[in-house]
Structure 1
Amino acid sequence: MYRKNAGISLLRDPFLNKGLAFSSEERDEYQIRGLLPPAIQSLESQIQLTMKRLNTLTDDLSKYQFLRDIQDFNTRLFFMVLHKYPIELMPLIYTPTVGLACQRYSLIYRRPRGLFITINDAGKVFHVLSNYTIDDVKAIVVTDGERILGLGDLGANGMGIPVGKIALYTSVGGIAPNHTLPIMIDVGTNNQTLLDDSDYIGLKQRRTTGDKYMSLLDEFMNAVVRRWSSLCLIQFEDFGNQNAWHLLERYSQKYCTFNDDIQGTAAVIVAAILAAIRITKTKLQDNRFLFFGAGEAGLGAADLLVNAINENGLQINEAINCIYLIDTKGLITVGRQSMEKNAHKDRYAKRCQHSNNLLDILDIVRPTALIGLAAQPSIFNQLVLSKMASINRRPIIMALSNPTSKAECTAEQAYIHTEGRAVFASGSPFGSVTIGSTTFHPGQCNNVYIFPAIAAATIHCKVNHIPNHVFLVAAKALAEQVTEDELARGSLFPSLISIRETSLRIATRVAEWFYVQKLSNLQPEPLDKYHFLKDKMYNPFNENHS
């Protein structure tokens, strides 16, 4: 007969398990002697062995699975490895590998992580949340899987996105892993391939929409507050464009929430632009920005950029005149918008010639910056890039769609077809590129620079409402950390080697702003917010830090 054993329970708890790092004394104290091989390994040896095993694997998806297995078995070891090797591992646990992981999530699914809430749980959402036994959840990342990266509707397979984002909350933002929770809200999928897939782990039905959908989301938001308080941060991720905007407007004034695709992406794009103009030696308000893509990311970035230009001295209407948008029907102009009535796009409609040809639009707009967010791979072809180079001495080119297969152009194409004059950033990482005697090291326009920092400041300062302006505060703080050496290397972002320090400094600026705006519920106010936040950061190398 099975006898309950605390030791077995300890080894099965990923938050407490240390693997072979348990000392001889601990093995006796916790009743695990004999349950482990006799060898005792130091933390450093465990880290190096993990990397050795990882490097025997030949493809990124296998490496992704291996790292997830480590996280499920020994959470602390997972974050120690990620802490020590961020440049090597971040592309594996998030973009670009997470895109492939989501596409195959049903196939690689092994162990429960986070919560799945379905449309069939309507009326019982609080009870589902109560099945998660941790009582001090402080941050949630939630998706409904409708628009995963540039891959479209992946239904329940989209759970890979919240799982990946939550890992970055801890590794970058320093939020303890036992305080975070990924959630998938499964209302079905319109992806017929998934509906026909016998291995698909989600609901096999078309997406629920309308009042039933909104009622479930309302119930979810209320249940989170009931379960974990109004201070629990809820980050929305990869919802469809229409729902994303509607939910942000519906909840932003009432809950502690933000949408990373709209607001986080906007902040990192504006930060890239602020860094780019240090290279082009131009004023922000003297540029013309052309967004190829007018979904949630493009519109969010455009709106935040308007605010940034406005702070530089132009009136709102003048700032809007600096920005042009292209959607699926071409350049957004007054004539065509009068028939469509899209409030988010209307403000950017221009009184100029309409076209749906990118080359012609470049002639009409004469942009200084071309920003791709439409997941149309290779749309920034040789002709487009050469045209940008003919218009500008230092053209700003941002190919921001994820994953890599959806990028508008590669770094190499951007540099080659602009004769090495492009100021370039991408959504997925690209390696260095040598043109003549110059080697460029392009930076990745990655939301990881923004959302963990804002989350850390929000949680530790006990903020229950996140105004949109905080994302401009974060964008400026990020841009200011890019050194002249990094700009000279062709990067618009600080190195990922120092990502935790970068995040901490952004969080400090955000925390300062929260107190100026009287949004913080933490009293007394910390005098030194940098060290206050630093002391709060989860350190996997400190066994007692949670």
Structure 2
Amino acid sequence: MRAPDFYLDTTDSRDVVLKVATRGRQILRNPIANRGTAFTLAERELLDLSGLLPSRVITIEEQLRRTYAQYSRSPSPLAKFIYLAQLRDRNEVLFYRLLSENIEELLPIIYTPTIGEAIERFSHEYVGTRGLFLSIDRPDLIEQSLRNYVPDPDEIDLVVVTDSEGILGIGDQGIGGIQIANGKLSVYTAAAGIHPRRAIPIVLDVGTDNLGLLNSDLYLGEQHARVRGEAYDDFIDAFVIAITRQFPNAMLHWEDFGAGNAHRILQRYADSICTFNDDIQGTAAVVLAAVLAAVRLTGVPMSQHRVLIYGAGTAGVGIADIIREAMAHDGLPAEQSYDQFYAFNSRGLIVDDSAGIRDFQRPYARSRAEVDEWDVANPARISLVETVRAAKPTILIGTSAQPGTFTAEVVQAMAEGCERPIIMPLSNPTSRSEAHPNDLLEWTDGHALIATGSPYGTIRHGEVYHTIAQANNALIFPGLGLGVSVVRATRVSNEMIYAAAAALAGLVNEYRPGASLLPSMNDLRLVSATVAMAVAKTAEEQGLARTPLNNPINDIYQRMWKPEYPRLEVVNRDE
């Protein structure tokens, strides 16, 4: 029986073996096999590479210096993104080595915010990309397409899928959403050591309502309006059935689905398969970690805090749900905890007789009888500052993408009601942030406890240097995926999400004046390992683990792949 041209054994991430059956230039075209000028002279002779590379053999460290210099010379963030994508498709190990050693610098390029421009420009800048493209117009090809991508079901731990309707802050981007799936998987690998060959990025091409794309001759997706209703649901069902049949050990990660579908899809499958929505659960977990650290500083029990969610969409309601779970851990009954929340949509404060309330928002609606007692200008559209004055929230969270809405009037009204207001303007990018942390510190005389969606670094107020926490999902989802894969969890439970958030919060020393409420992005490997440990242990305690933890620290560590050239084993083609 003929051996495959390349076979990578990734079952032990500490001793990765690459079996090579092909020879010559074909090796240099394969990103996982190619190591370019790092091939030794003996390897070049064995693999028929003699004369195909410059004479000198150099180390991966020397290659790293050259690639970093080339990256640095790229003239714009998008050019840097394209350079890194081409490096990944040429030499995968070198790409991940560069990323892992410069994670804080490169993360805004391979992930938010630069990836937004790369998604918008996908069809215009197309030079080939990895990933799987599944069309609603050809549902009969789903299973064959999965087999075409990877024939061995045991090789896959993770599937990241998007339908591109709710991409970041830029909305419907059609087939370009494949880039967000690739970006997520790059972070999974750099932060948690998920081997890149054990994961699949997928875009579900269901059409687009973006008229700019539909009218572009260069657009590469299906050129019709976005399919909705029963046909859409049937396609999602067919996709889930095919994924769970072909990759029974994989976690299915939903990414950037529209608000109308994200909660509905998660609720439909959460109890039957191993699945996770990063926009709902990942965002919620990282925000909860920052809230837990801030609450410790206030000295006020979690169950006594009042929370205002400004922007109760997919992410906002997900945050509210997990904070309610934290309140339950603090002894507050689940139904009673709804009374601690005030939620806003585009029409203002959500009241039980408001128009346009989505099903997932309704539990957070305030009663009309309650708000009728407030002093407001227009009872049909109660403003943010009116709500702050009446409700006296202690935690203010922004997921609205409405810049500047946390005004001095709003923040000062909040500060009048509590000594250490917890304020989190989470909308990305910075141009959409509800407030700048410098203003929040100024308006609260340095008392605000702050986390943001964008990176702001360190800000001086008076004699104190405040390190502003960035509530980046990369602090949660890589470790969650690693923990799930180590024990081959059958589901992702709410308790596992909560355990991930609590583990992240446990890494924070918030008592130093001005300290960040979250760990640094430079510590992502440590963070991911810690989160993975908590997730895996919780899965085992709940009876959701198919593989037991024998030595938890070692089990986690051994699965975290390091970007090093694998040991080569040269085999004959007919073995």
Smaller-chain TM-score bracket? over 0.9
Q: 2:391 aligns with which of 335, 348, 365?
A: 365
The equivalent of 2:41 in structure 1 is: 24
CA contact (8 A) 2:389 2:414 kept: no
Aligned positions, number: 536
1:490 aligns with 2:515: yes
In 2, distance between residues paired with 1:5 and 1:349?
Answer: 63
Asked whether 1:80 is paired with 2:103, we answer no
Match of 1:299 in 2: 317
Counting only pairs closer than 5 Å after superposition, residues 131-530 of structure 1 correspond to structure 2 as 131-135=148-152, 136-228=155-247, 230-336=248-354, 342-351=358-367, 352-353=370-371, 354=379, 355-484=381-510, 488-522=513-547, 525-530=548-553
Name structure 2 gaps, 5 residues minimum. Answer: 1-20, 372-378, 569-575
**Aligned residue number for residue 12 of structure 1:** 29
Residue of structure 2 equivalent to 1:532: 555
Q: Residues 340 and 406 of structure 1: is their aligned pair in 2 closer, same or farther, counting only changes over 3 Å?
A: closer
Corresponding letter in the other structure for 1:501: L
- 1:295 shift after superposition: 0.9
Note if contact 1:115-1:132 (Cα within 8 Å) is conserved in structure 2. Answer: yes
Query: Match for residue 50 of structure 1?
Result: 67
Moved more, 68-77 or 57-66: 57-66
**1:91/1:429 contact within 8 Å kept:** no
1:27-42 to 2 correspondences below 5 Å = 27-42=44-59
Are 1:457 and 1:533, in contact at CA under 8 Å, matched by a contact in 2?
yes
Is 1:477–1:509's contact at 8 Å kept on the other side of the alignment?
A: yes
* CA–CA separation in structure 2 for the residues paired with 1:112 and 1:155: 15
- 1:163 positional shift: 0.7
Deviations 1:347-384 (A, max 9, x none): 21223325432211211221111101111122223333
SS in 2 for 1:434: strand
Contact 2:205 2:221 in 1 (8 A): yes
Equivalent-residue separation in structure 2 for 1:27 and 1:112 (angstroms): 28
Cα displacement (A) at 1:165: 0.4
CA gap of 1:9–1:133, structure 2 versus 1, over 3 A, is farther
Measured in 2, the distance between the counterparts of 1:23 and 1:11 equals 14
Per the TM alignment, residue 5 of structure 1 is displaced from its structure 2 partner at its CA by 6.7
CA distance in 2, matches of 1:92, 1:273: 27
Contact 1:457/1:507 (<8 A) preserved: yes
Superposed CA deviations along residues 510-546 of structure 1, whole A, max 9, x for unmatched, are 1111111111111xx333212211011111136249x
Contact 1:461 1:521 in 2 (8 A): yes
Higher relative contact order (CA 8 A, sep 6+): 2
**Cα distance, 1:446 vs structure 2:** 1.0
- Asked whether the equivalents of residues 464 and 513 of structure 2 are also in contact (C-alpha less than 8 Å), the reply is no
Whether contact under 8 Å (1:433, 1:441) holds in the other structure is yes
RMSD (Å) for aligned C-alpha atoms: 1.8
Letter aligned with residue 165 of structure 1: K
**AA aligned opposite 1:536:** R
Output one character per residue of 1:186-232: Cα deviation in whole Å (capped at 9) or x when no partner. Answer: 1011111111222222222100011111111111111112322x211
Give the letter for the 1:76 counterpart.
Answer: V
Which string of whole-angstrom CA distances, capped at 9 and with x for unpartnered residues, describes residues 487-509 of structure 1?
53431111122211111011111
Deviation at 1:274, TM superposition (A): 0.2
Residues 263 and 360 in structure 2, CA contact (< 8 A), matched pair in contact too: no
TM-score by length of 1: 0.94
Change (3 A) 1:527 1:289: same
1:294-323 Cα distance to aligned partner (Å, 9 max, x none): 111111111111111011011112221111
- TM superposition shift of 1:19: 1.8
CA deviation after TM superposition for structure 1 residue 116, in Å: 0.8
Aligned mates of 2:514, 2:89 — CA distance in 1:
38
Cα distance, 1:262 vs structure 2: 1.0
Change in CA separation of 1:411 and 1:54 when aligned onto 2, cut-off 3 Å: farther
Q: What percent identity do the matched residue pairs reach?
A: 36
CA pair 356-204 structure 1, distance change in 2 beyond 3 A:
farther
SS where residue 404 of structure 2 aligns? coil
